[in-house]
Structure 1
Amino acid sequence: MDKKLPINLFTVGICLQLPLLSIAEELSQQVTNDAIEKIEVKGRRNQPNTQLSAETEKLLAIAGIAHDPLNSVYSLPGVVYAGGDDGGEPAVRGSSPDDNAFYIDDLPAGYIFHLFGDSIFNENVVRDFTLHPAAFNSQYGNATGGVFDVQLRDPKQQDIETIVDLSFLKTGVMVEGGVTEDQAFYFSYRRSLMHLFLPEGDEEDGYTIFKAPVSDDYQGKYQWLVGSDHKVTFTVNGASDVGGINISAASEQGRVDPDSIGDLKLKTRFDSQGISWQYFGDGGKIMQLVFGHNQEKIEEFYGEGQFIDIDKEQYDLRFQYQLEWFKNHTLILGSDLQHKVFNYRFDAIPYYCTDHDQDCESKKGERIQDEDKLTNNTTAFYVNDKWYINHAWQLEVGLRAERNDYTEQSFLHHRLALNWFASDAITIGLKQGSYSRFPDIETVLKKIGNPALDSPKAQHYALSVEYQVNDLWQSSIELYYKDLKDLPRSLDEDDANVELHYSNDMSGSAKGIEWVLKRELADDWYGWASISWSKSDRTDDFTNRTTEYYLDTPLLANVVANYQYNERWDFGVRLTVRSGQKYTPIIGLRENPDYPTHFLPTYGDLNSETLPTYHRLDLQANYKTRYWGHEAQWTFALLNATNSDNFSGYYYAPDGNETLTDYNIEGEEGMGMFPSIGLKMTF
């Protein structure tokens, strides 16, 4: 959070009154009969939050992320890509990406990342971004991993201003300004340029792009400051991705899976609208009521007439009231009401597997069709009390009561945080809490899942020590442990109730330690370094067999630094080194039972091998200038400057000449060295 207090009329009034009181006292001694005029200056409590928080500003400046606020999380300890350099959502401290929750302006959100891993947010509208990696408080629900809390900034009261961004990969425009004395707005739109570098119609290795990938997104906000105590905000957000490629019988994919031969087209889109009312009262009272509507659509066509079509509509109503009560207590009361409807239809060949299966090909089902809807209502009430016991101790206790009508489950989750300020420089913290989330949607659909599945659950524990070395340097260390229960397990042919496809007979754990060293800005540079050790596994409760999770990354190190050379130039560097993730090796081939002239890979023990060590160095330089009297900034970046070969997995690569004993295995490489240039101008 931004710790800088806005300079408003209230603070100005305080500064004015101090010398006025001194003068008044002196005059009263000389002219006792003169009347002294009283001056009262009132400030407004509903000040708009228009500036970036200091921490978020540092995150946006990280080299190699194209000023993408959410991509900065991969420079934090304990966070890794779930899909390598090519994209994928973040995995936090050994949890699945599906275990995370995302909030935009206090409303739950599901569509945060584009298909290629970049986030949907324009850097110019993000005010604050916070990652809660574990043991978060009672305000957040439906998550057993981490919580990503994104706060978009308020519009600025200024003359209409336009910002234009242009780079090799994306272009964008943003308009912002005041409408009246107490009303302002902004609107941002961005569109990818990747399709300009991927020509349509050219065939290569059996693949032909017929629709080059295009992504776009938008954010808009209109705010009305009502009086000095109320704030009404209207918000819109949206994004889409579309792309298409033809898979021929001559392609690697076509040889491995003939069912995929044909046109593959993917289209995703979401649009959301929200309205928020905030009241700022005496004594730290804050009241907020937020209503949101979200529509999301996913269309996927592939193979010979196979398709998946999902329409999701979601309504959220959230209320929160904060007040100071008794002595040294801050109380937060809140409620969350959510209504979701999934309308779905499909004609597809299902694969009944999870992210902890050895071989999904062996769990192939018969082609099936269905059209139905799933309705899910969630009700939650929470309370959180922060008690400043004395100068050395702070206790935060919370409860969250939840009810989900689809799973027919009710929960009472406890949350606890205890801080001991052992000295002016040392703080020791202990956090613990229980959590749950809605099951993965594909595991609870009627024909291809088990509607009776329970919600996955988790217990989080964290112990931290923070040490303020001096005004510049800060160090912290945190130990954590997650106990995971009721995870989905795919059923084998010889399992009882195999027709249910999934059960809750999977559990797991994640544990680790993280160390961070930060340096604040001084002598024109700042930065941080982190190193973490972790261990993540899953246990099949049927067989009592424990194996490492595929995202298990024992060692992870990050170094980030930024240097301000002069008023025009600044430079940044980011280095990431981490252990290779786990993978299941291919140890041979077997005949494809559905296509006798084709082969399928035979896999070894689940997650028994480790990928090579990952290392990537990103460099960046920013140059500020002016064109035609307007501010401009050039960004020059070199991604993966050492051109490291970073592998995210190995796959069977048929060429048409393979046999059961003679076949090709190739590595899936990440991004090589990639230069990037961007220009940002303000009009």
Structure 2
Amino acid sequence: MKAFFFIAFLFMFTILSAQTGIIKGQIIDEQSEISLMGVSIELLDQDIATGTITSDDGYYQLDNVPIGRQTIRISYLGFETITIPNIIVSSGKDAVVNVQLKESFGDLDEVIITSERRKDKPINPLASVSAIQFGMDEVQRFAGGRSDIGRLASNFAGVSTPDDSRNDIVVRGNSPTGLLYRLEGIPIPNPNHFTSAGTAGGAVSSVNPNLLKNSDFFTSAFPSEYGNAIGGVFDLGFRSGNKDDYEFSTQVGAFTGVEALAEGPLGKNNGSFLIGARYSLIGLIGGAGITSATPNYSDISFNVDLGDSDLGRFSFFGIFGTSDIEFLGDEIEEDDLFAAEDEDMFVSSDFGVFGVKHRINLGTSNYLQSTIATTFSNDGIQSDRYINLNEPDERVILYTDADNSENRYTFSTFFNSKLNSKASIRTGILIENFNIASRLRAREEQPDNDGDGDPDLFTYRDIDESLSILQPYIQTQYRLTEKLTLNAGVHGQYSSLNEQFVIEPRAGLKYQAGNKHTFSLGYGIHHQPISLPILFLNEKVNGELVQTNRNLNFVRSDHYVFGYDIRLSSKWRAKAEIYYQDISNAAVEAFPSSYSSLTEGAGFSFDNDRVSLMNNGTGFNQGVELTLEKFFSEGYYGLLTASFFESKYEGSDGIERNTPFNNGYVTNFLTGREFKTGKKQQNVLFIDTRLSIAGGRYYTPVDLQASQGAGYEVLQEDLAYSRQYDDYFRWDVKVGFKLNNVAKKQSHQFYVDFQNVTDNDNIFESQYNRLTNQVNEVYQNGFFPDVGYRFQF
């Protein structure tokens, strides 16, 4: 016992000892994106002045920085001086702060414009509207977020997630299938565990937030370098590892699983490595009685930077993830969202990205960047149905067999040039080659033509296809005046599947009136192919299976956005955006019906009987978004977002209907408070909370009598999306404690995230249950405490 108290005393002593950390990073020119030498960095609000300047490659380092939140000021002759507050300095990890400086407008050698770096502004300087920057801190901070970038995005104005079980992202009433994911400038397949072909979400994200650098999320009218999407863009990037010292961390959480991460210097050219691996906690402990269906998932992510050389800078990056789960009918719970008592279902998916990026500076104002990558995505579902369950003549038949794979080879290159302090230009091309193999056989809604007493096993898809998509683009920025900036460009898109080529002009205008008010306008045309599971559906024509949808054209979307941003004070800002999105060329049936491809993505799979489609469908999304934000200061932060919108479509019957994503409104309120503790105020007790309220999703009612006669669900399609579920309500609370120990460069963090603390019954789906022969309601996740621990050293 004495030994125990002695060890505990030593542990507390090291925690309470004098504590310092490190702030470091790189400073670059915003327009040329080339490093700046000799930039001055000062640590503010300290008794003793501390400062440094950047090296010839733009790097800086501030040593002996007190633990806690700190502020630095960055200044360089001829550039706008900025201050950066709320840099979290801890003992377990160096604080990395990379900054873009903007050259002063015109010849202002004697004038220094001072501003504050704002996280509400995107990383991409060519974005004028509907863009927000996010980083690792936001992903991990917010209550209920599960360290998931998709769930983080649901806090932004104009964004919602349809349900608690998956992280599909609905942007301004668009289907989740309209979302584009990019990693290091390369389009990637659905980066989630437990995916299905053509979707953009899953139960758990494969993207490890501990490897992310600050990235951008776009909800409309995105710049010309982004294509093949009509809803939104997640533009993700991996940070570089610590180039000066080795750092490690381990953590465990109910959703993130068990994780280990390592980083450090590599070679003699300022290179570094960064690698992280995760494995599902529930899968590791075998369920432990928590769930009857044990989810197994794991992923590994890495970024290897070889540093500068005479040939430029090379880096390697990648993600590899795998997942599987079994739903056994005799083991599942009655309210399981995904399975039934008379069925065994086996689900698996794999996802991977591997890329090589090269960048070389061409003079002091230009650079060329090229990336080559390969990606893959595989998913499979097999279900076995028990006929005459629990009867003497019980038997098992194969009911569904799906196996999908996509292998993609991508090449991207662009040239970026800063012409002068007023103008810059970027031009490039993206080439993707897709190899797609997809097979889907199912008995759902099929007749018994062979007379064996069971519905026939029909082959909906059985393809092995290749196609290419080319996307050239050019975009420019011109600062018309010190306050007025024009971003403009053109994006092109070509598909070899039907040899279609489209041209998409984009433009954005931003005007800053004084120091408080900013006005912005945005316009853009965007195209996207019909989802591949629809394009390659089979239809039986004259006794033969024919892909009657494969020649469908791109869906077109015209975006119009007006924004207003006001700085209410140094720590408060408000923002409003009004938008209208006009959609045409959606796929609809050749005869009058309520179906449109704009409604796909509302469930876990696509309709399998929509064939001989035509590009005659239309739709629109319109709304207003409001944001009120208190940046972290005086120990707390706050964020209030509200979206009021309308999402409509027309099928081939010409009737205007709600889309399933027309919630009407979505509101989020987030706030958090930190309390410093310890003799030196080096430790932090924190509490965060999130309150979400949204209108219910629209759905198509079940025709109960027809369903009972058919033995499977039959919907009243003439009343498509005419009914609305009850409003969604959820309250999450997260509490935790962070201990800093500089004596050994260590930190510990504990948290408990109480999700849905009121245990509110949010409806998931109203569906026909073939076992009860009635329409039953299934509810989303109830109260769940997510417990986590993280150790950095």
Question: TM-score scaled by structure 2?
Answer: 0.73
For the 8 Å contact 1:213–1:242, the answer to whether it is kept is: yes
Change (3 A) 1:527 1:175: same
Instruction: Give the aligned partner of residue 31 of structure 2.
Output: none
1:640 corresponds to 2:756: yes
C-alpha separation between the residues in 2 aligned to 1:10 and 1:167?
38
How far is 1:273 from its partner?
Answer: 0.8
| Range with bigger deviation, 669-678 or 141-150 | 669-678
CA distance in 2, matches of 1:58, 1:136: 22
Alignment of 1:648-659 (within 5 A): 648-656=764-772, 658=773
Structure 2: which amino acid aligns with 1:6? Q
Q: Deviations over 1:509-559 (max 9, x none)?
A: 00000010111121111121111100001101x321110001101111111
The aligned residue for residue 343 of structure 1 is: 437
**Match in the other structure for 1:108:** 187
Amino acid in the other structure paired with 1:573:
T
Q: Does 1:58 align with 2:138?
A: yes
CA distance in 1, matches of 2:521, 2:634: 35
Measured in 1, the distance between the counterparts of 2:58 and 2:532 equals 43
Aligned CA distance change for structure 1 residues 535 and 180 (closer, same or farther; 3 Å): same
| Matched AA of 2:467 | N
Match of 1:531 in 2: 642
Q: Which moved more, 1:138-147 or 1:295-304?
A: 295-304
Q: Is the 8 Å Cα contact of residues 36 and 58 (structure 2) preserved in structure 1?
A: no
Task: Return closer, same or farther for 1:523/1:608 CA change in 2, 3 Å cut-off.
Answer: same
User: 1:393: which partner in 2?
Assistant: 484
How far apart in 2 are the matches of 1:283 and 1:310? Answer: 47
Cα displacement (A) at 1:299: 1.8
Report the Cα distance in structure 2 between the residues aligned to 1:14 and 1:591, rounded to whole angstroms.
71
In 1, Cα distance between equivalents of 2:273 and 2:479: 38
Instruction: Name the residue aligned to 2:279.
Output: 191
Which one of 129, 154, 158 corresponds to residue 74 of structure 1? 154
What residue in structure 1 maps to residue 26 of structure 2? 6
> For residue 226 of structure 1, what is the amino acid of its counterpart?
D
The secondary structure found in structure 1 opposite 2:530 is coil
Q: Give the Cα–Cα distance (whole angstroms) in 2 for the partners of residues 137 and 333 of structure 1.
A: 12
Query: Matches of 1:253 and 1:577 in 2, distance apart?
Result: 23
Deviates more, 1:312-321 or 1:296-305: 296-305
Distance 1:228 1:5, change over 3 A: farther
Equivalent residue in structure 2 for 1:161, among 243, 247, 269 = 247
Residues 244-393 of structure 1: pairs in structure 2 closer than 5 A? 244-247=326-329, 262-303=343-384, 304-305=397-398, 306-325=400-419, 328-349=422-443, 367-368=458-459, 371-393=462-484
Tell me if the contact between 1:171 and 1:192 (Cα under 8 Å) persists in the aligned partners: yes
Correspondence for 2:9: none
Which runs of structure 2 are paired with 1:565-604 in the superposition (5 Å)? 565-566=675-676, 567-586=683-702, 588-590=704-706
Partner amino acid, structure 1, of 2:412: R
Distance 2:654 2:715 in 1: 26
- Secondary structure, counterpart of 2:648 in structure 1: strand
User: 1:682 maps to what in 2?
Assistant: 792
* 1:100–1:145 CA contact under 8 A, matched in 2: yes
1:396-545 correspondence to structure 2 within 5 Å: 396-445=487-536, 447-448=538-539, 449=547, 450-490=549-589, 500-540=611-651, 542-545=652-655
User: Quick one: distance in 2 between partners of 1:400 and 1:508?
Assistant: 23
Residue matched to 1:215 = 297
CA change 1:253–1:61 in 2 (3 A) is closer
How many Å separate the matches in 2 of 1:324 and 1:343? 44
8 Å CA contact retained: 2:139, 2:209: no
The residue type equivalent to 1:184 in the other structure is S
Q: Report if aligned partners of 2:469, 2:495 keep a CA contact under 8 Å in 1.
A: yes
Contact 1:71–1:118 (CA under 8 A) maintained in structure 2: no
In structure 2, C-alpha distance between the alignment counterparts of 1:610 and 1:313, rounded to whole Å: 39
Count of residue correspondences: 626
Does structure 2 retain, via aligned residues, the 8 Å contact 1:537–1:547? Answer: yes
Match of 1:560 in 2: 670
Does 2:219 match 1:133? yes
Out of 733, 745, 765, the residue aligned to residue 619 of structure 1 is 733
- After superposition, the C-alpha distances for 1:168-217 in whole angstroms (9 at most, x for unaligned) are 331111111113232221111111123468759x9x9xxx96x6221111
In structure 2, the partner of 1:27 is none
Is 1:631 aligned to residue 747 of structure 2? Answer: yes
Distance 1:292 1:389, change over 3 A: same
Residue type of the alignment partner of 2:56: G
1:67 to 1:42, Cα distance in 2 relative to 1, 3 A: closer
Residue 624 of structure 2 aligns with an amino acid whose one-letter code is I
Q: Partners of 2:249 and 2:525 in 1: how far apart?
A: 44
What is the CA-CA distance between 1:585 and the residue it aligns to?
2.5
C-alpha distance in 1, partners of 2:295/2:54? Answer: 57
Q: Which amino acid aligns with 2:250?
A: V
The code of the aligned residue for 1:674 comes to F
Whole-angstrom CA distance in 2 between matches of 1:302 and 1:194: 23
Q: Offset at 1:328? A: 1.2
Name the residue aligned to 1:179. 266
Matched, 1:667 2:741: no
Query: Which whole-Å deviations, capped at 9, do the CAs of 1:460-482 have from their partners, x for residues lacking one?
Result: 11000111122111111000111
Q: Given the alignment, which residue of 172, 187, 206 partners 1:120?
A: 206
Cα distance in 2, alignment partners of residues 384 and 7 from structure 1: 24
Report the Cα distance in structure 2 between the residues aligned to 1:315 and 1:466, rounded to whole angstroms.
41
User: Are the counterparts in 2 of residues 349 and 366 from structure 1 also a CA contact under 8 Å?
Assistant: yes
How far does the alpha carbon of each residue in 1:408-434 deviate from its partner, in whole angstroms, 9 at most, with x for none?
110110001011222221111110000
- Provide the alpha-carbon RMSD of the alignment: 3.5
Match of 1:44 among 48, 54, 57: 57
Taking a change above 3 Å as real, the CA distance of residues 130 and 60 of structure 1, as seen in their structure-2 partners, is: farther
Q: What is the CA deviation profile of residues 46-71 of structure 1, one whole-angstrom value per residue up to 9, with x for unaligned ones?
A: 89995589542234311121333332
TM-score (normalised: structure 1): 0.84
Cα distance in structure 2, aligned partners of 1:447 and 1:570: 55
Does the residue aligned with 2:213 lie in a helix, a strand or coil? strand
Deviation at 1:114, TM superposition (A): 2.4
SS of 1:286's equivalent? Answer: strand
Give CA-to-partner distance per residue, 1:204-261, whole Å, 9 cap, x none: 9xxx96x62211111111111124893211112111221112347999899x999x95
The aligned amino acid for 1:231 is R
Task: Give distance in 2, aligned partners of 1:296 and 1:343.
Answer: 11
Q: 1:27-47 CA deviation, whole Å, 9 max, x = no partner?
A: xxxxxxxxxxxxx99611589
